[in-house]
Structure formats: structure tokens, C-alpha cells
Amino acid sequence: MEPPSYPMYDRTPSGRYKDSVSRDSLESENGSGDYVKYTVTIPPTPDVQPMDVECRLEPWFINKALFTGGFHRETRSSFREKMIESKTSKAADANERFFCAMPGCDEKFMIDRNGRELIPCACDFKVCKDCYVDLVKAGDDTYCPGCKEPYKEIDLHNKAVSTYKPLLSLPSNVQTLPKDENSLTLAEQPSKELVRTDTGIGDFDHAKWLFETKGTYGFGNAICTEGNEVALKPTDFVGKPWRPLTRKARIPPAVISPYRFLVFARFVTLALYLTWRIRHPNYDAMWLWAISVCCELWFAFSWCLDQFPRLNPVSRVTDLDLLQEKFDTPPADGTKGGSDLPGVDIFVSTADPEKEPPLVTANTILSILAVDYPVEKLACYVSDDGGSLLTFEAIAEAATFAKMWVPFCRKHEIEPRNPEAYFSLKSDPLKGKVEKDFVKERRRMKREYDEFKVRINGLSDSIRRRSEAYNANEDLKTLRKRKEQTTDELLEPFQKQKATWMVDKTHWPGTWMNPAPDHAKGDHDGIIQVMLTPPDAPPLVESNPGESDIPFNFDGVNTLLPLLVYVSREKRYGYDHNKKAGAMNALVRASAILSNGPFVLNLDCDHYIHNSQAIREGMCFMIDHGGDRICYVQFPQRFEGIDPSDRYANHNTVFFDINMRAWDGLQGPAYVGTGCLFRRTALYGFDPPLPKDHPGVIESLCCCFYPHGRKIINNKTHPENEHQTLRKNDSCSSPSDTETINIHYDHLLARFGKSQVLMDSIEIAEKEGRPLVDDPKISKDQKPRPSPTPRPPLTSNKVTEAITVISCWYEEKTDWGKHIGWIYGSVTEDVVTGYSMHNRGWRSVYCVTKQDAFRGTAPINLTDRLHQVLRWATGSVEIFFSKNNPLFASSKMKLLQRLAYLNVSIYPFTSIFLILYCLLPALSLISAQFIVQFLNVEFLVYLLLISLTLCLLALLEIKWSKITLAEWWRNEQFWLIGGTSAHLAAVIQGLLKVVAGIDISFKLTSKSMADSDQDEFAEMYVIKWTSLMIPPIVIIMLNCVAIAVGFSRTVYSAIPEWPKLIGGVFFSMWVLAHLYPFLKGLMGKRGKTPTIVFIWSGLISITISLLWVTISPPLGMEANGSRFTFP
């Protein structure tokens, strides 16, 4: 396209353009015919981009077309409706605020000799010196062109200086200022003139001076001239460029110093105690002593792995106001423009509509569409790994309901923006609301949402009835056709597949209710449906579109919606689809082609956005200084629907508020599967950039795949493979400063797959993901330029390419799942993915917001909770026996970070020693022995010190993490419950997989919603038997029986050994206290357990204890004739 051309017009001496611009008028006015009409060609710049009209003529019917395809299948699209829209964009000149506001004048406004603005009127209407002189010469009644009020000062032109005056440098009298005790001056004089060239004012650029000269301003500095005149204002020293978007808030020394001292003290105490235990064996029961010492050695080792990474906990704070001011504030001149925040693609994953109700998924999608983020920079992708029509139609219903819900949230600033959570709030919904129509619209919206829920809940029956009706009609047609083709009265019965039908009377290409070839859960085509098309950027529609089906007044409210895409990847028998990790990688590739947001946020279908500004909170870290080395921002997981007592530690606050904060002080927290904002280039397997260096992404890729050095391929060797060369640094201004590298492009295609569009998107994502604060205009306190590569329009060709990259064969012979995307090989793909990024040198950040960023659901049933813990522990065992073992981590990973990951992979093995240690009190009471030969003072002192330091450490952790003591105790209880049940099963499963190659299958965690007609926590009291309950039940029974046996033995003994009884009973009660929630879960709901259960439990314990005393009487009973006999 040719660059735009602009005609040049004649101007007056004051700078105005002549009204007449024709050749005849110019000749008549100036009396000369020497004027020649000419034009000046202006090349396109990042700020001025010519609009390609042809690209806007692409048919916008993508959201009405369903795209399907797969392996050895052609890509098809079925259109239900065609619609063409042509939208144009408006250009806005951000620099216009520095010029004269008079029409036709392009001069700079007035300034004085010190560089301060001279504004003649309080309405802030700025004019240049020439225009001001023309206005003043009009007479005494001089009116401001802006507010039409008379000027109060008419002699400002005498104070003004020419805008073409040489720019000011640092005042020369700075170094000659008298220095005394009460005055400080600048550190040194810069060697060159440092001025702000962006405003054209000529004032001294303090930010640039500080950056280039490494100078510093002292505390309370002031620069004064002779007399009372101040050369520079104190506000000039407070520059916006170096105000960070985030800051680190460390734990107060009064808390963290005693905490670290206690860690060291407990470590020394454990070392002394274990040394004493080894040197003082119990010769009367060596087997008991050996088991106890081995268990205690492992517990000490496990405690060190868990405690040492906690030595440097930190908290972080973001500045959302500064983010809004710098990157999301409209221009001062009032022109409309898009936001400078980068794009974000949000992934929502679901697999089974029976265990993950569609209403839960729909509410999560609604909270995403209503998030407080520029709508043109947002895209939502829903991965339906089950290919269910129920999920598809639920998302379609959510897209329709979003047209009312999203503007309603924006208008009334609703929080949270999940309709189910909002209408379930127990707080006053009218608090802080001032709009007169809020009550009316809220009542109407509540009714609309109730109807929406009824439609969602009725989708299953609707699909079933529709499919039965259409199948019956098809059977009738087939029968009539057969009768027409044959004359036999008796027709042979025929079998026809019962299809699942869509609303438009076509077969659903995904999974059918009655599975059939090419339509089963593991065998169906890839599907992509654009539910909501992306809006143009910047958003220009900010009023009610006047649609009759929206019964709300949305005048002045932005009604645009983000891009919403339904994706179901292709599945075929014989392919390993890698569960959730494979689905997420398919979304990474599809989103790179359709929207290519430089950042990716992944959420589970039951984790909705509770804080509408959560994405902005995470973006503060990504686009701040040094943010280019952050691979992801992890948010804590918060849960709803948990019983008030949190019986099974579902909130997991110790991990999210203690461990994760402590990891944040190292190399960063681990990735926990949901609520994580990723940098796309980090998912692509790139190494982090060097400080103050932005190499091309292909060069970074070479560094990643060839860690021993860059492999640069010569053009002479491979001239046919050189399809692209990338500059090392985009800031290079001359060809001599530009370093280019040659790459083996076919090699990269082999690693990412054979998609040219996907490869082209990598470079764009890397550039747009760089921190905005590193933009040159940011350092000059300007609003940054818009993105030079706006999101291209969505076309059918792109959707077709996206179908290709989600096919089942695409990842063959590529690095997807190995070095790129979510890493395969473990059921806990989240931990492995985060570990691989940290192993390459990336950092991560833990973001805890004042209002919970995300909220989800957790299993409150004991069996479901144990299965969830089993899956996590199994993944840890897989990590330990894989190449991702932290023992083999690279040198880029810090030592304490390696210990933290080692603890994650090794903690399930603690279950072996934990079960033995929980059985020791019972064995001790039954055998009348103890782990030590004598309960002397030294042993009791060690035991007291270990227990005391543990309690003090817990109190300090509660202090700096702000959790409650009850939460800490619940975590300790469930640690023992999980350690004696699910963790042991995980170790067995992991060993079977490594030794025998038996694959591991895990149970999908149910995410059902509570029924309003029954008890909110009714599911918690349901008893579902599982083999995981056997070890804790055995431990409980043995300890109860052992207490009865030990007590009976001591009572009937001629020489009672009360110290051993007390020691054994104390440890048995310690075990039973930790297993109390498990025992309570077995009893079901309060009052439901039959009384006979307790009676029989007591009788059995008494009978067994008396029987044991009879079989093995205590020492001295027979000699004294006091042998117990049954009556």
C-alpha cells in the first residue's frame, strides 16, 4: 500500500492556515502565480498506520460457523447464518496536547524561560505566543476561545520565550552554589545536555540524568538561585518513571529474626537428640528401638526439606492506580484510543459434564467475560475434552446471557461477577450503590438469571428429547425408503446408530449419548466454534445498541464482549492424548493462531474470577521493570462451600499462605494447576532473556535447545533453509548496530510442528510480551505508544489452521509436552511444568490480593478428598522416578528452590515411616516395652525442647502468614490422615508403574453444586467405602486396643510400670487426636450413627484386653496368686 499523502497549505506569520486552499485563491491573495500544488509523502510509523480497507471486508460470520476436522479428514465448516460487517478505526494523535489549541495552528503553547507552561485562562485552553498576541490585539474585551470568558492577564506574551530557543541544560550555577550544613546539591554535573525532547518545552530531564549518570538526590535537597527565585520546583524531583508497579513487603524483623533463630535451634536440638538416641539403644527391645530411630531420622530429614525453604518469606503489593495512569488512561486531549495493556488469553478446561456441571462452567465463563480488562485485549477459550453437546450448548447459552450480564456488571460495578456467587451473597447488595435504577435492574437481572439456570438445567433433557425425535424421524424415512425399494411385505429388522442432534437439525460431530464410531469420548473430530467474535480495537461503541431483546438501559456503558471460542481437540483410538496437559497444549496452539495474546491465564472450570481486577494485579508484575524474566504469576487458591470447621483441611491455608509465600522469597512459587498467569514465550520453552537484553525469540530458542552454545548455521551451508533473520535488539537504529543470526528454520518447524502460521506468531507474542516500562517513551513520562502490531481480524482461514493444530497427530515428532507447553509424563503436570521453567532460569511470583482473585470448589466428602490427595501424591512419586527429579536440576535453579521441589517429590515416601511410627505406641503398650530403655531426664528434656520449638515456630508462622491456629491444627491432622492412607497407595502405584509398567488412572474430582433443598454440607456426611480407609482404621483399632491392654496389664501387675504406660498412652492419644476427623467422617452425620456401634466397640475393646491379660499375664501375678480368671 502506498503511504498517505497530505497537501501543504499556505500559513500566516502567526501560524494559522489560510481558509482558502485552492490555487486560484492563493494567486488572488498573494498576487503571484508562482505557487505550485505539491504533496509530501509521509511513511507509515508505529503511531500512524494506514488502514487496509480490504482486510476489513472479511466476512464476520465466524461466530455462525462450526469448524470440524481431524486426521486424514478434510476441514469442514457448516454455516447457519452469514453476516458482513465493515468497521473502521479512528486514529488519534497523542502528541496533540503539546500544541496550540487554536484551529489550524501547529505551534507549541507558551512557556517561560524556566520551561513552565503559561496558560492565560483557568479553563486550561493553551495557545501559542502568536495566537495570544493576535487575540490581545483585538481590544480590551479579549475573550478566551475555550470558555468565552475575558482574559485576566493580557501581558503574558512578554514573559513567554520562543519555542525554538535552544534547550535548557542543567543550571550552570549548581556547582557554584554555597555549600553549608543545611544545603545539598546534585552529585555531579552531567557532561552533556539532558533535556526532555518529547514535550518540546526544554525543561531538565531529571529521570534521564539519574539513569545515565547514576546520580542521586540527597534527603531534603533543594536547588536555589541567588535571591528568592526558585529555579526548579521540588515536584520536579519526584518523577513518575521510576515509580514501580510492584513492591516487595518483607516480614518485620521482630517476627522473622526469632523465626530463623528457632529454626536453627530446633535443627541443633534434633541433631543432639538423634545422636543421643543412637548412642543409647534399648537392649530390651532392639527391634522397637531400631524402628523408632529410623523413623525419627527420616522425619528430621523431611522437616529440613520442608523448613529450610521457609527462611525468606515475602509479600508483594501492586499499584493498580499507577497501572491505570500509565497504561490505561485515555489521552488528555479527549480523543479515543485503545489501551496499552497487552493481550491475555484465558483457558478454561473441562472434561466431563456429569462431574463438572455445565452451570458451574457457565458461571466461570461469565465471570471471565465481565472481568475489568480492555475487552479488545481479552479472549476466552473453553476446552471441552469430552466433546459433549451439553457443554457446547451451555456455553452458547452463557454467551447469550453475557450480553445482559456483562454490561450490568460494568454499569453497577458488581463484585463478584459470577452471577451464582453474587446472588448468593449474604451481605447487603445495596451498600455503596447510588444509581436510582439499581434495585429495579438487579431484581430484573435476578429473574433473568433464574431463567438462565432453568435453561441450563434442562439442556440434558432437551438434547435427549430432540435426539429421540430426530432419530425416530430418520428411522421412519429409512423404513419408507426400504419399502419403496422392495416388494417384500416382511422386511428384515435393521440397526441404525442413534445420533445426537444439534438445534439446527445436524449431527453433533463430537461425543454422542449413544457412543458410535467417530462419535465416542476417545474418538471424535476436532471442533472449534467462535461463540463471540472479537471487537475492534479501540472500542468505539459505548452506548446501548438498541437491541429489543435486552430489557436494560445501558446508555453510556461499553456493551462489547471479548472473544469466546469453544474448542474440543480431536481424539482417536491408539493415541496418547495426555489428559489435561494435552488439552492445554492444544489451546496454546489454537489461541496462538486466533488471538495470540502474549499472556495466558488458565483456570479450572470451577474456579471463577472473584476479583474483577485480578488480571491487572498479575499484569503489574509482568510489565514492570524486570518482568521479562518472570515466567508466571501464581495466585492462591481459595474455596467456597467448605464446612465451617474445615474438617479435612480443604482450604489448605498452610500450603498457600506459608509454603508459597516462602517460595516467593526464593526463585518463585510452584505452579499449582489453576489461577496462574503465564508468559506465552515461557510456555514455548525459551530461556529467560539476559538483563537489559531482548534477543530475538528464535535466538533464545537456539540457546534453549543447544545449552552448550548457540548453533549458528551459515548461509553458505544451508542457503535453502534461511527463511528468516531476526534482529537481536529492536532498539538498534542503524544497520551497523543490528546483529542478525541465521537459523535452521526447518529444525524449528520440526519442534513446533508444521504450521507456518504458528511459527509466525511466536515472534509477535515475544515482542508484545516485553515489559511496557522498558518502552523509551515511558522513561520520558509519556503515555506509551499503542501496540505496533494490532490484533489481526479473525478469518475462516485462521480457524481452519486452528483445526489443524488441535488434531491428534500434530504433536508427533515435536517437542510439545517435552520442552514446549505443559509437560507430559505425570498426573500432576502442573508441578512438572513449573519445575521445567524454573530449571531454565525463569522466576515466578506469588500474588496475594486483598480480595480473593479466584475462588473455586473443593471436595468435602472424605472419599473424594482422599482420591484427590492420592492423585497429587502419585504425581509426586512419578516426578521422583523421572528425569524431572530435582536432584538432577540444572545450575540455574537455586539451592533452596531445589530443596523445595525435592520435598514436593519425596513427601509421599514419608507415609512408610509414618505408619510404622503410628503403630509404635500400640506395639509398645502390647509388648510392655518402650522406645527408650529408661524415661530419664535427658530424654524428657530433648522431647520438651523439640515440642516447644515446634509450637513456637507454628505461632510465628501463624503471625507472619495471618492464618488461624485452627487452620494450622487441621492441616496437621489431615497430614497424618493422608500420610497413612493416600500417600502409601501413591507410593505403591508409583513403584508399580516404574517396575511393572502398570499405568495409573485417577478419579476426576467431582465439582457438583449443593442442592438448595437439602443441607448445604450433606455430601460431607455421605460414606463411600474405599480401600484407602483400611490403614487408618487399623491404626485406630490397634491403638484403642493397646491402650486397654496396657491399662489392664499395669493395673493387674504386682509391680506396675506406670512411666511406660504413661509414655505409651501419651503417644497413642497423639495418634488418635490426629485421626479424629477421619473417625468422625466414618460416623456420618451427627445423630445418625447407631448407639449399638459404640456399645459393641466398648465391649470388643474390654474383651480383647481381658483376653490378652489372661493369655499373657503381667510379671508377678502368678507368684502372688493374683492371676485373673474369668467367672
* Residues classed as catalytic: 385, 830
The string of DSSP codes covering 748-810 is HHHHH-S-HHHHHHHHHHHHHTS-GGGSHHHHTT-PPPPPSSPPPPP-HHHHHHHHHHTSTTT
Question: What is the C-alpha separation between 332 and 791, in angstroms, rounded?
Answer: 25
Helix (H) or strand (E) holding 480: helix 459-485
Question: What is the C-alpha separation between 723 and 742, in angstroms, rounded?
Answer: 9
Name which of 196, 210, 209, 134 is nearest 168 in CA terms: 196
Name which of 876, 929, 919 is nearest 305 in CA terms: 876
Report CA 903 to chain centroid distance, whole Å.
24
For 931-994, the three-class secondary structure string (H helix, E strand, C coil) is: CCCCCCHHHHHHHHHHHHHHHHHHHHHHHHHCCCHHHHHHHHHHHHHHHCCHHHHHHHHHHHHH
Question: What is the C-alpha separation between 158 and 129, in angstroms, rounded?
Answer: 9
Helix (H) or strand (E) holding 1036: helix 1030-1052
Q: Which amino acid is at 579?
A: K
Question: What is the C-alpha separation between 599 and 635, in angstroms, rounded?
Answer: 15
CB 307 within 8 A of CB 935: no
Question: What is the C-alpha separation between 1031 and 1033, in angstroms, rounded?
Answer: 5
How many alpha carbons lie under 13 Å from residue 108 in its C-beta half-sphere?
Answer: 21
CB 806 within 8 A of CB 586: yes
3-class secondary-structure state, position 283: coil
CB 571 within 8 A of CB 577: yes
Residue 908: asked if its preceding bond is cis (omega within 30°), the reply is no
The DSSP 8-state label assigned to residue 816 in this structure reads: B
3-class secondary-structure state, position 294: helix
The three cell numbers of residue 257 are 529474626
The DSSP 8-state label assigned to residue 656 in this structure reads: I
Task: Indicate left, alpha or beta for 626 from its phi (over 0: left) and psi (-120 to 50: alpha).
Answer: left
Beta bridge partners of 856: 639
Question: What is the C-alpha separation between 251 and 257, in angstroms, rounded?
Answer: 9
Determine whether 488 is exposed, middle or buried from the number of CB atoms within 10 Å of its CB (0-12, 13-18, 19+): exposed
CA dihedral in degrees (1034, 1038, 1039, 1042; nearest 10)? 180
Instruction: Count other Cβ atoms within 10 Å, centred on residue 509.
Output: 24
Name which of 383, 808, 813 is nearest 587 in CA terms: 383
Backbone φ and ψ for 526, nearest 5 degrees, come out as -75, 140
The three cell numbers of residue 442 are 438487579
Strands 246-250 and 725-727 turn out to be unpaired
The residues, ordered by sequence, that sit 6+ positions from 385 with a Cβ below 8 Å of its Cβ are 349, 350, 351, 568, 569, 577, 579, 580, 583
The DSSP 8-state label assigned to residue 877 in this structure reads: H
Name which of 603, 574, 533 is nearest 368 in CA terms: 603
